[in-house]
Structure formats: C-alpha cells, structure tokens
Amino acid sequence: MAEKPFDVAIVGAGQAGCTLAGKIAEKGVHPSTGEPLRIAVLDRGPYFKGKPNPGYGSPERRRMFTNLSQDFAGKYTRWTGMPPGARRKVPLQPGQEIFLQRGPAIFGGGTLHYIARTRAPFDIDMQVWEEETGADWGPGVLKPYGQQVHRDFNIHVRPPATLCQLDHLVREAALSSGYELSDYPIAKKNCLLSGYCDGVNMCKYDARQGSFTVYLPLAEQRGAEMIPNARAQRILIERSRGQARVTGLEYLQDGIRRTLEVPHVIVSCGNYETPPLLYRSGYGPRELTENLIVENRNVGQHTDNRPESFGPVGIFDEPVSDGAFRHGNAYYIYYDLDSTHRYDRLAISMWARTVPYPHQVAVDAAAPQFGPAHKDYMRDVCDATKMTRARADIARQCITKLELVRPRNIRGWINEWGEQIYPGHHPSIVSALKKGREVIYELLKKMGAREVVGMDSPVRVHHLEAFVGSCIVGTDPKRSVVNPYFESHDVEGLFICDGSVMPRAASQGYAGSVAALALLASSRIVERHFSRG
C-alpha cells in the first residue's frame, strides 16, 4: 500500500521546531478523518535518537558534541555569511555593519548554550510585543506558556553552592543602589554543575533541558518522521487566481535534491536562516528574492537585538572567588534609561574571573613567556588546592558586560546570506553603553574594588544578543509577515514560528521566550488547522 502523504512539514528542529513537532504530534489530528497527523521534521544536521534520561543520557546521544569550550571541528554548528566569491544582491552602504551568527546544525541544536541559562519573557517584554504589533501576545495570553516552559525545562535559580563571594557583593551593591535585580536561572536536571559545558550545544548526559529533551520525544513516540541532514532549499509556492499557497518543499540530503509534497509547512530555521529560505522560495522584498512569487517587503526586515559590549574590569585587593570554574554571572542588574522600562534598558552582568583552561592560561598576558618562570606560573595557577599568587591575581578580578535591551528606533535586516545589517555603533547605542559603564564603575566602587580598568577604551559592540524580528508578527499585513496565529499573511499553508516572529528582544535569555511562543503557536495551529472539524 502506498504511504500516505505528509500533512505538515516542520523545517528546522531547533528550539521552536522541536516544540512544534512534539506538541502538534501530541494534540493534532487530521481535520476531516480525525486520524493522527503525518508529520515530517527536517533539519540540516544529524538526528541522534534516544530516550532522554536527564543526568545519565543515552548511548547514541552521547555522541553529541560537548565538554569543550567550543565546537572546534564545527561539526554541529554553522556560521552564517557570504561564501567566498559570492555577491550581495543589495550592496553594503558605507558605514553599514554586518553581524553573523554561529547557529546550530543538529536536531535539537537550538537547546541552550552557555550553561543552559534561560527564562521566559518578563511581563514588560510581552507588553511591548502586544503594544507594538497589535498581536495578542501580552502577559494575559502568553504568560501561562512561559510558566509551562519553566516547569517543563526545570528552570530554577542556581544552587547557593555555585555562588561565590563576588555574586553576593554584586547583589548587595545593586539592591542598595535601588536597581532592579534579577536572577539568571538555569534549565537543568540532575546536573553535576561543573560549568564545563559553557558555550556548547548539548549535554552528553541530557542534564540540559530544552525542547529537544522535553518536547521532541513526543513527536518520536507518535511516529513523526525525522529527516536528518536535510537542508531546505525552497518552499514550493504556487500562485493561482491571485492566491498563493504551499504545495511542497525541496531539500538537499547527502547531495541529492529531494521533494516533499505537503500542504502545510512550518518554517523554524531561526532569525538568521528563515529569511534566506523564504527569499529562495520567491517570498520577500523584490530585490532580495529569487524568482519573485509573492512580494512582502517586511520579510527579513525589522530585526531587533541586544547590542553587547564588555565593560570595565574591577580589581579587588583580595580574591573574590576561589578561582574555580563557575557559571558566569548569577544576576542581571537593570538600569532603565527610559522611565517606562520599555526601551533602552541597560542589562548589566558582573562575574568573578575564573582560571581559564590551561591552553588559554599559557598564553595569557599575565603568564611569563618562557623558561622556569613560565613553568612556575603554570604550576601556581593550576594548583586548585591553595590560593597561590598567580591564582589570586586572577581571582581578584571582576569581569563585566553590558547589553542594551530594545534600543529605541533602531532596527536591522537580514540579507540572502544570513548576514544581519545592523547599526551596532549607532551614536545612541554607544552613548547608552557609555552610561552603563559609569553605572558599573559606581557599583564596583561600592563593592570595594581598588581599581577599575578600561573606562577610557572605546565602546565596541562585539556581538548582538537575542536576535529577533526578521519575520515580525502583526495584525497589519502592510507592516508584518505573520498574523498572531503564526500564519503567513500572504501564502496559504505557510507558517513561521521561531525567534524571527518575536517582535522585540526580551530583557533576558532568549531560548525560553522562543519555547513559550512555540507552545502558543502549537496550540493555535492545532486549534485552527489540525482539530476535528
């Protein structure tokens, strides 16, 4: 008997894609027959099957990359950007800046990096989303989904044993200055809390929680088909009598071009990769698309970020930690340049410098270059049993970082190579970050720092955090790409749900917000398209 065709394909099995796959498989049925849906889930990376076992892992999935500070082989991550020899459809203007993203390339790769620190959006974040777009994504609707993410991902504050003296100093100084302080919780279960998973995609022991461990297994249990190593090339869109609709999907798997006939496609390739896929499919602004089928000038536009810059370093007389590898900042301090807390929020993080990995210590500016002095230094700094001089020199330092949440009136856009063109050094961003430095200076002094280094160096935005908005939601089709039900305004059968639909950055974290939105999307898509009619 011939296999039944797929009812829906989910493209991109990251934070949003895994949530959608699990929840739609759990609740959705074919609207006319009531039978279970046939769901295809595609990702450009591999799929390591196995029942999650938080804190222990399963053998197949232990092959996943972890326990190094970076994915050195680049096996499960990809940078966006223009390949050598290629050209941009819209040339860069003088002074424009390009930001790229290192994104996952593995089923579930969008689970949390950076020690799985995340949270659902604050009420104020959701209020801004609702006010700016007209979408009913305010706290009244979305908050319960955020609470569900906290329960499902086991998001909790860090155990006191992982905090050091500096964390306590930061907390006291912020509160006594009257600033808003927020914990930076973690999404983990049965974790060793070594902190050595910093900066990687996965956990060999499944202790890191996310939609991959929590929701994707639901899809597998209900027979969704996982299609790994499948890079979506384009969504097939047909236009007849003025109406465009999805007919299928074309993808490359192991170098072979394949086609899937499917009437519903949910795109979840992330803020940087969703627009290029839509451009390749003929959907977007005329000048960026290939073979234009449907024009919508909002596709790829309106990106928002938290421009990030390092702040000054505080030097204390005595060590403020034991120097052991930890978990970065325990708190965020908010300093609002806008009295409504909506725009230009400075998010400040401060953490004790810890002894880096040996290969990093060896070339550190503080390490003598050669001979016995170098050896003595290495012996000293790596001796975790006592606070040697070299170790104390590191443990006396406080590192700081600044992010500007929702810079007012500043937006960027994504081109066909997944590059974000964004005015990271716009004068209003730079002046806000300068103000943030002053706030950090005062805090460090209050905490008892003897010296504050780096107040005079130029502000440099080295990274954009919380990249969102490239397929923005809205009730007005002239200013947005999807409606509040995650349906494209222009193409029937096309849905978008990932960081790209989020209208503005959340104040903290990111993945938790994406998961909350994806839970809302699953429920709305099931209700409107996959419930018994």
Residues in contact with ligand FAD by CB under 6 A are: 11-17, 42-45, 101-105, 109-110, 112-114, 117-118, 231-232, 268-271, 273, 277, 498-499, 509-512, 514
CB of 369 to ligand FAD, least distance (A): 32
C-beta of 274 vs 397, nearer to ligand FAD: 274
- 223: tokens are 């027979």
Residue 9 CB, shortest distance to ligand FAD, in Å, is 10
**Which residues, including other chains, have CB under 8 Å from residue 382's CB and lie 6 or more apart?**
355, 358, 361
User: Is the Cβ of residue 251 or residue 377 nearer to ligand FAD in the bound state?
Assistant: 251
Contact between 198 and 49 under an 8 Å Cβ cutoff? The reply is no
CB of 414 to ligand FAD, least distance (A): 12
> Burial level of 100, CB count in 10 A (0-12/13-18/19+)?
middle
Cβ contact 64:106 at 8 Å: yes
Nearest approach, Cβ of residue 309 and ligand FAD (Å): 17
Tell me the three state secondary structure of residue 294: strand
User: How distant, in Å, are the alpha carbons of 56, 156, 405, 465 from that of 118?
Assistant: 22, 9, 16, 13
Work out the end-to-end distance of the chain between its first and last CA atoms, rounded to an integer number of angstroms.
Answer: 27
Nearer to ligand FAD, 70 or 96 (CB): 70
Q: Shortest approach of ligand FAD to residue 425 CB, angstroms?
A: 21
Residues 6+ apart with CB under 8 A from 24: 8, 10, 37, 39, 219, 522, 525, 526, 530
In angstroms, what is the minimal distance from the CB of 86 to ligand FAD?
16
**Calpha distance 180→275 (Å, rounded):** 36
Between 118 and 522, CB nearer to ligand FAD: 118
| CB of 515 vs ligand FAD, minimal distance in Å | 8
CA distances from 265 to 41, 218, 310, 519 (A): 10, 19, 40, 17
Q: Between 224 and 277, name the residue whose CB sits nearer to ligand FAD.
A: 277
* Shorter beta-carbon distance to ligand FAD: residue 107 or 205: 107
CA gap 256, 172 in Å, rounded: 59
Largest CA distance in the chain: 81
Shortest distance, position 297 Cβ to ligand FAD, whole Å: 22
Task: Give Cβ neighbours of residue 241 (< 8 Å, ≥ 6 apart).
Answer: none
Ramachandran sector of residue 154 (left: φ over 0; alpha: ψ -120 to 50; beta: rest): left
Nearest to ligand FAD of 15, 400 (CB atom) = 15
Nearest CB to ligand FAD, comparing residues 394 and 518:
518
